[in-house]
């Protein structure tokens, strides 16, 4: 019959195919059956033979160790704070008591400041010479290579004498080169001053200097402590 022929075509397997089906069936059967041999409903604590009393003792031990850890951590933190604030560390306490005058210190003295090395101390002295002296410690931030974080480390260890008078530029007789040496005076500033003096003979005071339209008032105020308006 026709349907028998169809069945033979669909369900006829070779010897190798039948062997594969048998092996596959065995594997499936093992996968289904084996887990039941290894699963137990016993208390998970039982294999370790741990009683409730032992569990309570272990819990207390863990809490005790945890408290010791935090106490030690807090002690370490306190010691670190004391070192940072100069309470414990003698070298740092000595540095904290050391106050350096920015306008008289040499490179060796400046290198004693935290975060100041040989190159940076040399730049500080060179910039001090170009300025004519520091009139405020914030001017150190203008030194090439000086970061804000570095400045904050030693800002409390430096000072400027209250009666310090910087070296001033004789504005009415200075040359272009002498003016340009100062870090606050750029090309336009120097040329504008020279042109004004050439036309008006001299600049008598700060108000007259501020009246020169080509000059930025902010720059004029910034450089004014370094200017001498006398002949």
**What does the pLDDT look like over 160-198, one tens digit per residue?**
999 999 999 999 999 999 999 999 999 999 999 999 999
State residue 84's pLDDT score.
38
Asked if residue 61 is part of any domain, the answer here is no
Q: Same domain for 183 and 218?
A: yes
pTM over 0.95: no
Note the pLDDT of residue 96: 46
Residue 68: the pLDDT is: 57
Q: Between the CA of residue 202 and those of 67, 128, 205, 216, what are the distances in Å?
A: 78, 28, 9, 19
Is 110 a domain residue? yes
Domain that holds residue 217: 169-228
> Last residue of a domain, which of 159, 178, 205?
159
Of 138, 159, 180, which one is at a domain's C-terminal end?
A: 159
Looking at residue 80, its pLDDT comes to: 42
What is the pLDDT, as a whole number, of residue 173?
A: 94
For position 30, what pLDDT does the model report?
78
Q: Average pLDDT, whole number, for the chain?
A: 78
CA dist 37 and 32 (Å) reads: 10
pLDDT score at 19:
78
Is residue 9 left, alpha or beta, with left meaning phi > 0 and alpha meaning psi from -120 to 50?
A: alpha
Q: What percent of the chain has pLDDT over 90?
A: 54
Number of domains comprising the chain: 2
Which residue numbers in the chain have pLDDT < 70?
A: 1-13, 35-97
């Amino acid at each position: 019959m026709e349907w028998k022929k169809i069945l033979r075509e669909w369900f006829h397997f070779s010897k190798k195919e039948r062997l594969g089906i048998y092996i596959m069936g065995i594997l499936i059967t093992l996968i289904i059956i084996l887990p039941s041999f290894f699963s137990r409903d016993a208390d998970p604590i039982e294999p370790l033979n741990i009683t409730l009393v032992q569990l309570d003792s272990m819990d207390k031990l863990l809490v005790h160790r945890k408290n010791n850890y935090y106490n030690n951590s807090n002690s370490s933190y306190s010691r670190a704070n004391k070192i940072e604030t100069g309470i414990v560390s003698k070298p740092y306490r000595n540095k904290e008591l050391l106050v350096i005058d920015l306008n008289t210190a040499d490179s060796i003295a400046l290198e004693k400041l935290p975060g100041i090395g040989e190159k940076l101390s040399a730049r500080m002295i060179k910039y001090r010479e170009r300025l004519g002296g520091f009139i405020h410690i914030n001017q150190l931030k203008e030194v090439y290579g000086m970061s804000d974080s570095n400045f904050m480390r030693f800002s409390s260890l430096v000072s400027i004498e209250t009666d310090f008078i910087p070296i001033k530029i004789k504005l009415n007789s200075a040359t272009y080169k002498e003016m340009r040496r100062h870090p606050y005076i750029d090309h336009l500033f120097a040329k504008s001053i020279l042109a004004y003096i050439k036309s008006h003979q001299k600049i008598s005071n700060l108000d007259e200097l501020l009246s020169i339209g080509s000059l930025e008032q902010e720059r004029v105020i910034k450089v004014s402590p370094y200017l001498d308006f006398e002949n």
